[in-house]
Each structure stands twice: as C-alpha cells, then as structure tokens.
C-alpha cells in the first residue's frame, strides 16, 4: 500500500518535472501576456497621430482664412466661411477675424487701432492693415490620457497677414 502511494507520488513529481521542462506553448503564453500592452501602445500612437493630423487641419484652416483676406480684402463673414470650409473637420473661426493697424519693426508687428490707419510708425514706415484669423476645433482622444491630452482637447491656431 505504501509502495503504490510512493509510486504515484514519484509519477506525479515526474509529470511536474516534465511539465516544468516543457517548452511547448511558451511562445503562446508570452504573446498572450504581451499582446494587450502592444495593442495599447499601437492605439496610443494612432490616437496621437490623429490628434496631430487634426491640429494640422486647424492650422491650414486659419491659413486659408488669411489667404482669403489677402486676396479679397477684409470681410469677416467670408473669412470665417473660408476657415470653416477649408477642411472636412468641424472647425470654427473663434474668435472672429479682426483687422488692426500695425507697424513693422524687424520681424515684430506692433498692432494699435483699427483702420483707417492714422498712426505714424516710429521707424518712418507706413502703417499697414493686418488681419488676424483664428481657427479652433475640438478633438476627443480615443484613449483617455492623464497628462498628454484632456478629453476633449481644443485645438487652436492663428494666422496673421498684411493686406493692402
């Protein structure tokens, strides 16, 4: 009776030892443990790529509004329309386009007053009329990030152009 019990115990330990040494299925177990982390990383990269693409579209929308002002002059309604129709993304022209007088000094524009420009620039140059166009859109990330992106995130852009 004790002999059969010892044989069963040896057989059980032998099976455990064989199971411990076996390599079958190790790759499947490792893949099962790592796959969720890999999918999470891929989803995060795709999500940040989509956010960056949306930010570029918002910038292009502001630039489209500034280009409209450059070619056609200041008309707040039409500039806003150019901003919103520049992309398939839901972009708004907030705050509304504005025009101001400004003096150029190097690469810095000092804005003051609204047209007609009756100011004189300190460097002797003629003041110009500058149009400022704003664009913004809301982006909701696929994955809620604690520090990178809040949910939803407002993407904003601004373009400024001197018109004649």
pTM of the model: 0.74
Of 4-18, 83-97, 149-163, the range with the highest mean pLDDT is: 83-97
Residue range 33-80, pLDDT digits in tens:
899 999 988 988 888 898 899 999 999 999 999 999 999 989 999 999
Residue for token digits 């999500």?
47
Q: Which of 98, 148, 102 is nearest to 127 (CA)?
A: 102
Residue 101 · residue 128 · CB < 8 Å: yes
Average pLDDT over residues 83-90: 91
Q: Which helix (H) or strand (E) holds 57?
A: helix 26-72
| Domain range list for the chain | 26-163
> pLDDT tens digits, residue range 4-22?
777 887 887 777 777 677 7
- Name beta bridge partners: 27: none
**DSSP designation for 92:** B
């Amino acid at each position: 009776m004790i002999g059969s019990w010892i044989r069963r115990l040896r057989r059980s330990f032998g099976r455990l030892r064989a199971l411990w040494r076996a390599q079958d299925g190790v790759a499947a177990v490792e893949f099962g443990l790592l796959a969720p982390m890999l999918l999470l990383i891929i989803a995060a990269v795709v999500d940040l790529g989509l956010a960056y693409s949306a930010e570029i579209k918002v910038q292009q929308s502001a630039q489209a509004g500034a280009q409209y002002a450059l070619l056609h002059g200041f008309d707040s309604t039409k500039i806003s329309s150019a901003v919103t129709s520049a992309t398939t993304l839901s972009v708004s022209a907030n705050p509304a386009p504005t025009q101001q007088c400004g003096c150029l000094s190097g690469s810095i524009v000092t804005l003051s007053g609204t047209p007609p420009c009756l100011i004189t620039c300190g460097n002797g140059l003629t003041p110009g009329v500058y149009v400022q166009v704003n664009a913004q859109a809301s982006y909701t990330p696929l994955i809620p990030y604690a520090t990178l992106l809040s949910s939803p995130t407002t993407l904003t852009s601004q373009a400024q152009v001197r018109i004649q």
